[in-house]
Structure 1
């Protein structure tokens, strides 16, 4: 265990009550694959019947060092606090999780992920009840997000057609991010991975490379959106069952917008 990891764990233990055990996950367990960007991934498990106090958990990290940035992910019986912390003139990435004992026995301990107990004692339940990950995604759970993305396509088209490139570019970058999310899901299914230490030097398809974006060319921007919509739509068709294609309608809207820009209406 390196100096920062030890410091972080001791600091959190001094600030929090009810911790039954702490486990260390990821590359910091052995140090074999640790590099400059390796994060410290720790999970703290509460004693049975003790509930999470989110405010106290978050504030417990302040004495570790100068927090430069952070994000929070909440579950029903767990919370993940990801931070970039300055400690002794270096920036350290800390993924700190807190969960109830029930969450540990029913979910966390059953994940296909190695860990090392670094504080306390914790029971390790059988993995016989683990589920099998499915690669086929049903449309229903994602319907709202998919609808929001297609609505954002129409808004981006409108903004660029009206030469509001500032808001249009903001929306376009969001749309690229949504496409990349599908790429990542597809990669996880293909590579059977859910931990991303190293990538595969992936790149965007030629039709939607970022170098194709011409900030002051309205027709070019709209054509870029058309190509992105086609690529996004195809990813959904390939990976989400019961999804119905929408790219033709978006293409028609873009064609109509370009005609208006040319004064052909």
Structure 2
């Protein structure tokens, strides 16, 4: 027994379980609440549509049975189309004994006489299928039925026993045309495994740059692997003026290359003399090591 989820809470729970959603216009307020109470709710009821043009029918209904005819419709591609929120014309009257078993999360009895309004007590989801035993349920469609049922059960703290078929609610119906024992087992396994959060975003390793060694370091003939690293950064910045290299010895080619870097930064005249200064060095970002 539970207070129905708000529209936002329902959508959030469904997305959290990885359900692909299509939210139709005004689905948050499209309901039959003026005909009777919505809630407390006790479970999820699954159906098949038994026809074509399911989306239009489930949203609008018919003159004899106005829409919405479900909270949502699962199309063949596995998309859940949210069409209503609140009381919908999906369950009709059903067995009081079945409702009591769902409330207690016990094995279901055979449905008894139709005596209880199921529209007020169950979230209803239609699954697009002819229900003739020959129309297949694609894997994506069944996966969405599993995920949406899990999402609602998880949000309310229910077990898989809270998910039933229309055919288990009343003797008048045969839908959905797949084994409920199988889908409930899948829901139970997903509930036991817990929600699967998205993998954490990779954290980039911090990049350490070489500190400025001072202008006196850069004298002709100085040998250091740091000079090779400087040359590689200059080449990467499009400022390399090397016939060969760069290499570990500070040469005139390094001076010309660094002067090109200084000019790229906007230095002119004597300020672009090819000898590193602290500001231009920090902007070059020579990796440590």
Q: Which TM-score tier does this pair reach, normalised by the shorter chain?
A: under 0.3
Quick check: which one's helix share is greater? 1
- Give the number of the structure whose residues are more often strand, by fraction: 1
Larger Rg: 2
